[in-house]
């Protein structure tokens, strides 16, 4: 950057990282030129206190990007890192060096480890989103600090930017016009929206929903990074877009107008910030839900005499509150404890707000944070007696959460069969097929990839393109999903893990099946479109149901999972919905 930029950052107190302009690979005949420029780079920035870090290359590719005759191999590149580090320290012995920003061929032999993480867009990129939110990170040398040089998610430009700058054939006629971002060059929103949200109906919907997703991911990941004491540096990619319809993961458009995510990022980066972490987004009436209370404090002096106040609201009305002393150490994040929030009793789906405010010694507010949880009434118990062929405590236990009294052997006339794996179906195939033809519902839990014949029906299970998903769409018009909302099948909590985890690993393909839930399938080179993930089909007087969405691990702590499971088990005989 020009010297004037560094001088302005010196005045403002903005801390910078300066990168060598190298990406992915290094040509063999440029090795010594790279080392020479490392020295010149350090000489350019060493007088500026705002510059606290330098790096040499962005996202190096393994195996010299399959062209070792042209580019340096990893062990040769690491020799370049050593040479460049020596050149930098010749100019400035105190310089902190991060050899690689976004290392796709780790680890580097020295310097701060850094990974790029887009798990809120490219699903599972680096680490699963739920594991990251719970405090996880990629493998790093024990005891080492680390960084995340890039993260983010795409949020479309505003309608104003589209009308002002976009070519005419890219522009939507109006906010209410049918339109998709498929027409935009290099936009990823069409392909990857299948993994995170329903397809909007018009241009205004696309702009709103994509920016809301970007806002959610930005806040979730930024707060997780601030809570992690070993995360020393991170950067959203990008802060400001250089072009209209440029890198739409930017949180501010080309006209310097912030998107929704910009405000979330600014708030999460407050010098002293409150963070409330709850792995749940849905809760049951009257259950006790743990909410972690954190403070991230950047100043070099601890905060003396601070205190907390917290409040719980139901549909905007206060139902509980409390106060406690706060411990705010210098220059670090610290968990303050866990708030065991007893949820109020409700008879219909409602919203609970949990808020916390940090006060200084005089009682003046420093920062506050509020999270929202949807609260559901307890399910009504129904006398259901499913037959679970070859059932064990593990395969039967989750059904008890739904009030079902499962048995490993059929008792009397069978109306529901829950099949946990293909082998158990094979052993009892004749009996199960006859029960379905006679009027029973046979529910298959997730099947591994393969081609299967159920009675007279055939279905194919394939691995989901791009990896496991946190979201599936209920926008199918099927009566079994009547009354469910657009985010009811998203970011489900797994009690066994203590955090959210993917609910879908595979997708379905077959003729004549009715789609209950769906997801998208595609890839970098394959076009994307909707595919079924939960299907049903009649045979005789009964019905086959195949569910690739994980229910056994989720019905305990996700009311929408439990309600959907009840709908599946009821089959054609009963449709259960909720407001």
Q: Within 13 A of 405's CA, how many CA atoms are on the CB side?
A: 6
Domain presence at residue 388: no
Residues 278 and 406 in one domain: no
Q: Is 578 exposed, middle or buried (0-12, 13-18, 19+ CB in 10 A)?
A: middle
Which residue among 227, 243, 269 closes a domain?
Answer: 269
Do 193 and 202 meet the contact criterion of CB atoms below 8 Å apart? no
Alpha-carbon Rg for the chain, nearest whole angstrom, is 27
For Cα atoms 179, 181, 182, give the angle at the middle one, nearest 5 degrees: 100
Domain presence at residue 529: yes
Separation of first and last alpha carbons in the chain: 55
Alpha-carbon distance of 293 to 205, in angstroms, equals 34
Residues 399 and 450 in one domain: yes
Do 358 and 366 meet the contact criterion of CB atoms below 8 Å apart? yes
CATH of the domain at 346: 2.60.40.10
Residues 470 and 430 in one domain: yes
Residues 528 and 409 in one domain: yes
Do 493 and 500 meet the contact criterion of CB atoms below 8 Å apart? yes
Do 391 and 545 meet the contact criterion of CB atoms below 8 Å apart? no
Joined tokens for residue 370? 């509020």
Length of the chain: 579
CA distances from 572 to 30, 68, 396, 407, 483 (A): 69, 60, 22, 22, 17
Residues 478 and 541 in one domain: yes
CA distances from 314 to 317, 340, 351, 392 (A): 5, 16, 6, 40
SS3 content of the chain, % helix, strand, coil (to 5): 25, 30, 45
Picking from 481, 513, 506, the residue whose alpha carbon sits closest to that of residue 578 is: 481
pLDDT at 579: 33
Do 454 and 442 meet the contact criterion of CB atoms below 8 Å apart? yes
Residues 226 and 255 in one domain: yes
Residues 12 and 136 in one domain: no
Alpha-carbon distance of 228 to 20, in angstroms, equals 28
- Structurally, the chain folds into a number of domains equal to 4
Q: Going edge to edge, which strands form the sheet with 514-521?
A: 416-419, 441-444, 542-547, 529-539, 514-521
Residues 122 and 107 in one domain: no
Model confidence, pTM: 0.93
pLDDT at 393: 64
Residues 430 and 520 in one domain: yes
CATH of the domain at 415: 3.40.50
Alpha-carbon distance of 93 to 111, in angstroms, equals 14
Domain presence at residue 257: yes
SS3 call for 393: helix
Residues 435 and 357 in one domain: no
Residue 66 φ/ψ, nearest 5 degrees: 65, 20
Which residue among 114, 137, 160 closes a domain?
Answer: 114
State the DSSP code for 513.
Answer: P
Residues 211 and 353 in one domain: no
Do 217 and 192 meet the contact criterion of CB atoms below 8 Å apart? no
SS3 call for 124: coil
Alpha-carbon distance of 545 to 300, in angstroms, equals 59
Beta bridge partners, 579, equal: none
Residues 441 and 563 in one domain: yes
Domain presence at residue 368: yes
CATH of the domain at 63: 3.20.20.80
Which range marks the domain in which residue 251 is found? 116-269
The tens place of each residue's pLDDT in the chain, 579 residues long, gives: 899 999 999 999 989 999 999 999 999 999 999 999 999 999 999 999 999 999 999 999 999 999 999 999 999 999 999 999 999 999 999 999 999 999 998 888 888 899 999 999 999 899 999 999 999 999 998 889 999 999 999 999 999 999 999 999 999 999 999 999 999 999 999 999 999 999 999 999 999 999 999 999 999 999 999 999 899 899 999 999 999 999 999 999 999 999 999 999 999 999 999 999 999 999 999 999 999 999 999 999 999 999 999 999 999 999 999 999 999 999 999 999 999 999 999 999 999 999 999 999 999 999 999 999 999 999 877 677 888 988 776 778 888 888 888 787 777 778 899 999 999 999 999 999 999 999 999 999 999 999 999 999 999 999 999 999 999 999 999 999 999 999 999 999 999 999 999 999 999 999 999 999 999 999 998 999 999 999 999 999 999 999 999 999 999 999 999 999 999 988 644 444 333
Beta bridge partners, 148, equal: 234
Alpha-carbon distance of 562 to 111, in angstroms, equals 48
Which residue among 76, 92, 114 closes a domain?
Answer: 114
Residue 545 φ/ψ, nearest 5 degrees: -130, 130
Alpha-carbon distance of 87 to 377, in angstroms, equals 65
């Amino acid at each position: 950057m020009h010297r004037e930029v560094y001088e302005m950052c010196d005045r403002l107190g903005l801390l910078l990282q300066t990168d060598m302009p190298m990406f992915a690979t290094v040509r063999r005949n440029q090795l010594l030129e790279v080392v020479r420029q490392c020295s010149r780079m350090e000489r350019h920035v060493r007088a500026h206190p705002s510059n606290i870090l330098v790096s040499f290359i962005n996202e190096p590719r393994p195996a010299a990007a399959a062209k070792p005759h042209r580019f340096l191999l990893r062990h040769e590149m690491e020799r370049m890192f050593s040479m460049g580090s020596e050149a930098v320290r010749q100019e400035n012995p105190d310089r902190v060096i991060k050899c690689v920003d976004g290392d796709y061929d780790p680890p580097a032999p020295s310097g701060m480890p850094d990974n790029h993480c887009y798990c809120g867009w490219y699903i599972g990129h680096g680490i699963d989103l739920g594991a990251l939110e719970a405090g996880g990170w990629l493998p790093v040398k024990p005891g080492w600090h680390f960084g995340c040089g890039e993260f983010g998610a795409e949020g479309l430009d505003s309608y104003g930017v589209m009308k002002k700058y976009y070519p005419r054939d890219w522009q939507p006629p109006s906010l209410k016009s049918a339109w998709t971002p498929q027409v935009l060059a290099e936009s990823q929103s069409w392909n990857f929206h299948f993994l995170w949200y329903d397809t909007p109906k018009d241009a205004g919907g696309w702009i709103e929903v994509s920016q809301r997703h970007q806002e959610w991911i930005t806040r979730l990941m930024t707060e997780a990074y601030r809570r992690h004491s070993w995360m020393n540096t991170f950067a959203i990619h990008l802060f400001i877009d250089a072009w209209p319809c440029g890198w739409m993961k930017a949180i501010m458009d080309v006209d310097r107008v912030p998107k929704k995510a910009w405000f979330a990022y600014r708030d999460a980066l407050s010098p002293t910030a409150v963070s409330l972490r709850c792995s749940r987004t849905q809760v049951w009436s009257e259950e006790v839900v743990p909410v972690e209370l954190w403070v991230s404090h950047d100043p070099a002096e601890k905060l003396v005499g601070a205190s907390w106040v917290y409040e719980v609201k139901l549909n905007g009305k206060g139902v509980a509150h409390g106060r406690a002393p706060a411990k705010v150490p210098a220059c670090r994040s610290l968990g303050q404890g866990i708030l065991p929030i007893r949820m109020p009793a409700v008879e219909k789906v409602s919203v609970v707000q949990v808020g916390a405010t940090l006060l200084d010694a005089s009682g003046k507010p420093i920062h506050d944070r509020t999270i929202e949880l949807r609260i559901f009434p307890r399910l009504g118990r129904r006398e259901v007696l499913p037959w679970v062929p070859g059932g064990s405590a593990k395969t039967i236990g989750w059904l008890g959460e739904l009030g079902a009294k499962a048995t490993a052997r059929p008792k009397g006339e069978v109306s529901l069969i829950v099949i946990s794996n293909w082998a158990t179906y094979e052993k009892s195939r004749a009996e199960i097929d006859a029960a379905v033809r006679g009027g029973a519902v046979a529910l298959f839990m997730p099947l591994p990839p393969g081609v299967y014949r159920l009675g007279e029906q055939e279905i194919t299970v394939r691995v989901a393109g791009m990896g496991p998903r946190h979201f599936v769409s209920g926008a199918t018009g099927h009566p079994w999903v009547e009354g469910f909302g657009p985010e009811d099948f998203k970011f489900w909590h797994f009690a066994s893990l203590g955090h959210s985890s993917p609910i879908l690993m595979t997708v379905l393909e077959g003729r004549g099946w009715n789609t209950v839930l769906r997801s998208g399938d595609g890839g970098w080179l394959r076009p994307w479109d909707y595919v079924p993930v939960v299907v049903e089909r009649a045979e005789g007087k009964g019905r086959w149901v195949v569910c690739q969405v994980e229910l056994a691990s989720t019905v305990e702590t996700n009311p929408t999972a439990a309600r959907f499971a009840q709908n599946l088990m009821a089959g054609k005989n009963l449709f259960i919905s909720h407001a």
